[in-house]
Structure 1
Amino acid sequence: MRITDLLKQDTAILDLQAQGKEAVIDELIAKLNEGGRLADSQAFREAIMLRESHSTTGLGDGVAIPRCS
């Protein structure tokens, strides 16, 4: 899967409501799931959180690219 497969208008959130890392990740996962991009949102969340436990995917200035693998 390529990041361009996920970055589509129907899965973009321009007014993110969540605050805090886990809440933000949950909101993003919910949006991807609503857009039909995830086969198993819980497994996806677990993989994302495992990756985050190794090191942050934050780039700075409020920008991050949460991912697994």
Structure 2
Amino acid sequence: MRTSRKSYTKTKSTYLRDGIQQIGLNVLHSESPIIPIILPDRDTTLRFADSLQQEGATLTQFSSSHTCF
């Protein structure tokens, strides 16, 4: 039986969300495959984003009162 794209995405995002929490990062609760990660300050956020980009992750920046990726 083929796994649907929605089911596959949910499985992968749950796996990623669990892994992010296991390394001690704050992840907001969400049923969406979009995983908001809360970092303590701007410098940490920029270093984290740089590390993810070096690993090939695609990040989108949103403007708000805090820097979010």
TM-score normalised per structure 1:
0.33
Larger Rg: 2
Greater relative contact order structure (CA < 8 Å, 6+ sep)? 1
TM-score normalised per structure 2:
0.33
